[in-house]
Structure 1
Amino acid sequence: MTAQLDLATVLLLHKSSFLVGALCFLYLRWQSPRNEGLGILAIGFLFLALASTLAGYGEQKLLPAFLWTLSSFTLGLSGYALFWIGLRRLSGQRLRRADWLALAIPLIGAIAGLITHFHVVNYVRASVFNTGAFLYLAASALAVVSDRKDEPLPVRAIFAASLAVGAGLCLAVVVGLLKPDALPITTTYAFFLLIISHFAIALFALVLVKERAEAALRRTADTDMLTGIGNRRWFLSQLPRFDWKGDALAVMDLDFFKRVNDRFGHQAGDQVLIAFAELVRANLRATDCFARLGGEEFGLYLPKTNEAQARAIVERLRLATEQLDVRFDGQRVALSVSIGVVVGRGAEHSWEELFSMADAALYQAKDAGRNRVITYAPPPASFAIDISIARTG
């Protein structure tokens, strides 16, 4: 098995892993409308492929030792530095000018090589190089993990794990070079496993871009494009299918909205909708769901909220809407909102039934003069009996 995994074969696979990764990154950069650091990642992998090629030529005695050792060391470490810069950008962080200082490390290494000639000693050069690679890969794994809170994509965990494994294998190579008997595997096999991790890193970078694109499509499908809040489709997906007991649902409708459009124009109407959406969103709890259902109608789902709490919340929103200062062409647009509220009691069978009750309360609020909150109350039992007798009679 050792004979099959000779150094020339390993170097060929090493170079191939970087070339394949660079081609993947270039293809994604061509396909992606966003600048996500893919171009920098591709350049970094190309640098690493070139460094591996020079090392292969050097092992075959086709290049002078002083030339290929220093050039492959500098190019390879620069490739890992560019990889870290590109990966931070891909992960979601803004590219900073200070990030480019990562390229100072290979530059310092090249200057140190010219002065001390440490690079001509194979185990010293390889140890320094793999230590640098370990630091860059570990920092890359940390970047992927730290951005998970802002963009919780499923692939981030396994992507960070593959980077961490790559960093660990670089460290294993260093240990194997300095203390050959300290590890259960040879340095050559650790290097071979590192090649596999490079393929995995490129693969999970592709998956990250794919998952990000799919998440963006889902957000677009679930977002009202004018106000930026959820749309009816998203709102309905957030509602529980059963067991509404203890939850509240409110349907809100801006009063005389057509008059706003007729008097001030549709641009003013859009400003009103946006301002109202921002007002409500700023006054909700983290667990509440708020969406534009269509036109000037909005829905609000309040989980674990009793009738008194629900009424207090929407009454506060109603009063805030009266105070909302929206101006168009120097004139203030007077606003008010009618709200119908229903609290689940456990007898409802679907969200359609809850919506019907909330709508009934909303229309009561409008019929009563608008700019008020009405909580749905079931009809009296005698009234229900009278209706039943009338229908059977």
Structure 2
Amino acid sequence: MNTQLDLATVLLLHKSSFLVGAFCFLYARWQSPRDEGLGILASGFFFLALASTLAGYGEQKLLPAYLWTLSSFTLGIGGYALFWIGVRRLSAGRRRKTDWLALSIPIAGAAIGLATHFHVVNYIRASVFNATAFVFLAASALAVISGRSREPLPVRALFAAAMAVGANLCLAVVIGLVKPGIIPITTTYAFFLSIICHFAIALFALVLVKERAEAELRCSADTDALTGACNRRWFLAQLPRSNWHGDCLVVMDLDFFKRINDRHGHQAGDQALIAFVDLIRKNLRKGDCFARLGGEEFGLYLPQTSEAQALAIAERLRRAVEELVVISNDQCIALSVSMGLAFAGGDEGTWEDLFNSADAALYEAKRSGRNRVTSFSSAAASGSKPMERSLSRTG
């Protein structure tokens, strides 16, 4: 297949792949101005396209060797440095001023070239260029894949793989130049494969931006804007559709919350809600689900937790809230919470039945003086009647 590849055509396509990628990055930057790195990625690909153009003119003897060799080498290394900076910012979603130190590498390369004229020797220039490109591409792939723990987007693996393949192609070129015959791949064929990598990198960068936007929309739809807690919609979606016997549901309601709003103002009430949410979230076990159901009411789902364990957990949370003091306008606001607990013992037909049981327990806790945890079994024993309520209620 190598003999069927025309070098001039491949170089033209190679340059074109950088230009197409640059315009894709610019379009994505226009559509998603908050995504860091897209403009820098476009600049990097433009630099690489210009370097490829100068190299093509040089190979056709249209430019003097001393001019195109050093300029294409410097622009190409600079392009890969910008590419790495852009990928780092796109992956992390934030700026790092120290990333710009990567541009010292092409500057140093240009200075060494002016001093030693190594760039006029084709295999040395090509070896150094591709070795540097390998380092930047491999580092870019590592930056993308290392961000999966913070932002587990599916496309990250494909994005990193495309850059890893490009890095290995650069490494193959270096090995082929230093030790000819070891790797059965020509420079022309390596350029051809790298064209595919460039298109793949541009494609997966666009998909990453799209997946990130969709994830942000899902997060916004599932998050309470005031407290940052998950909302009712998310909470109901987390409840299992089957095999939920042996789980516990706790419904919480802040005591005398209207009095806090009336006495201290709604801003103080908001601060109290935020402080309450932060406290509860810090004291949850892994696997527990907590959400704001509406107003000052919250839900806590405890999977595979006995009634005794759930009572102990709820009591610990109640005491923590009782000790919490919120400072607003130099005034101390004391909080307390009432909790109703229902255990899924197997008689409940639906989650609505369990919610009604937890509501009945909460009603009994309120009726008995507030600032306490009451289970449905004890509330039923005392003869308390459940309140009318359905899962569609939002207050």
- TM-score normalised per structure 1: 0.94
Q: What's the secondary structure of 1:287's corresponding residue?
A: coil
Instruction: Note if contact 2:144-2:159 (Cα within 8 Å) is conserved in structure 1.
Output: yes
Contact 1:80 1:133 in 2 (8 A): yes
Contact 2:36/2:95 (8 A) holds in 1: no
The CA deviation at 1:273 is 0.8
Q: Which amino acid aligns with 1:151?
A: E
| Map of 2:155 onto structure 1 | 155
Q: Which residue of 1 aligns with 2:262?
A: 262
Q: Partner of 1:351 in structure 2?
A: 351
Task: Measure, in 1, the Cα distance between the counterparts of 2:42 and 2:153.
Answer: 22
Contact kept, 8 Å, 2:2 with 2:186, in 1: the verdict is no
Is 1:12 aligned to residue 15 of structure 2? no
What residue number does 2:287 align with? 287
Mapped partners of 1:95, 1:262: distance in 2: 44
Name which of structure 1's ranges 231-240 and 32-41 shifts more when overlaid on structure 2. 32-41
Counterpart of 1:126 in structure 2 is 126
Residue 190 (structure 2) pairs with residue 179 (structure 1): no
TM-aligned CA deviation for residue 101 of structure 1 = 1.6
Cα distance in 2 for residues equivalent to 1:335 and 1:70: 70
Q: State the partner residue of 2:67.
A: 67
1:195 aligns with 2:195: yes
Q: Would you say 1:25 and 2:25 are equivalent positions?
A: yes
**Amino acid across the alignment from 1:78:** G
Range with bigger deviation, 30-39 or 123-132: 30-39
Could you tell me which residue of structure 2 aligns to residue 390 of structure 1?
none
Cα gap change, 1:109/1:328 in structure 2, threshold over 3 Å: closer, same or farther? Answer: closer
Give a deviation string over 1:189-243, Cα, whole Å, max 9, x none. Answer: 1221011101101111111111111100000000000000100001111111122
Q: Distance in 2 between matches of 1:36 and 1:272?
A: 35
* Aligned residue number for residue 46 of structure 2: 46
Instruction: Tell me which residue corresponds to 2:55.
Output: 55
8 Å CA contact 1:58, 1:64 repeated in 2: yes
Q: Deviation at 1:93?
A: 5.6
CA distance in 1, matches of 2:329, 2:189: 73
- Flag structure 2 segments of 5+ consecutive residues without an equivalent: 385-395
Please say if residues 254 and 336 of structure 2, whose CA atoms lie closer than 8 Å, have aligned partners that are also in contact. yes
What is the distance in 1 between the residues matched to 2:3 and 2:171?
24
Alpha-carbon offset, residue 281 of structure 1: 0.7
Q: Secondary structure at the match of 1:284?
A: coil
CA distance in 1, matches of 2:161, 2:68: 32
Mapping 1:220-231, distance limit 5 Å: 220-231=220-231
Question: Conserved in 1, the CA contact under 8 Å of 2:251 and 2:341?
Answer: yes
Aligned to 2:339: 339
| Contact kept? 2:15, 2:53, Cα under 8 Å | yes
Query: TM-score, structure 2 length as denominator?
Result: 0.93
| Residue 74 of structure 1: how far off its partner (Å) | 0.5
Separation in 1 of the partners of 2:33 and 2:13? 32
Q: Which amino acid aligns with 1:30?
A: W
How big is the shift at 1:92?
0.8
Contact 1:273 1:296 in 2 (8 A): yes
With 281-290 and 170-179 compared, the bigger mean Cα shift is at: 170-179
% same residue: 74
CA distance in 1, matches of 2:72, 2:367: 81
Q: CA deviation at 1:181?
A: 1.5
Matched residues in 1 for 2:372 and 2:216: separation? 38
Query: Could you tell me how far 1:97 is from its partner in structure 2?
Result: 2.6
Counterpart residue identity of residue 329, structure 2: D
Residue identity matched to 2:139: A
Structure-2 change in CA distance of 1:116 and 1:328 (3 Å): closer
Letter in 2 for 1:300: L
Gaps of 5+ in 1: 384-393
**In structure 2, distance between residues paired with 1:308 and 1:33:** 52
User: Are residues 36 and 93 of structure 1, via their aligned partners in 2, closer, same or farther at CA, if it must alter by over 3 Å?
Assistant: closer
Paired letter, 2:207 = V
Q: CA deviation at 1:35?
A: 4.4
Higher mean C-alpha deviation, range 206-215 or range 348-357: 348-357
Is the deviation greater in 96-105 or in 243-252? Answer: 96-105
Aligned positions of 1:240-251 closer than 5 A: 240-251=240-251
Letter in 1 for 2:244: W
Measure the CA separation in 2 of the matches of 1:191 and 1:33: 32
Q: Partner residue of 1:308? A: 308
Any residues of structure 2 matched to 1:83-94 within 5 Å, and which? Answer: 83-92=83-92, 94=94
| CA apart distance, 1:291 | 0.4
Contact 2:169 2:194 in 1 (8 A): yes
DSSP-derived class of the 1:377 partner: helix
Residue identity in the other structure for 1:133: A
After superposition, the C-alpha distances for 1:131-150 in whole angstroms (9 at most, x for unaligned) are 00000000001101111111
Give deviations 1:272-330, integer Å, cap 9, x for gaps: 11111111111111211110000010000111211111101111111111211113333
Deviation at 1:348, TM superposition (A): 2.3
Q: Distance in 1 between matches of 2:56 and 2:342?
A: 74
Provide the C-alpha distance between the structure 1 equivalents of 2:70 and 2:33, rounded to a whole number of angstroms: 38
**Following TM superposition, by how much is the alpha carbon of 1:33 offset from its aligned partner in structure 2, in angstroms?**
3.1
- Match of 1:375, as an amino acid? S
Give me the whole-angstrom Cα distance separating, in 1, the residues matched to 2:331 and 2:182.
79
Question: Which amino acid in 2 is paired with 1:96?
Answer: R
CA distance in 1, matches of 2:61, 2:353: 81
Q: How many equivalent pairs are there?
A: 383
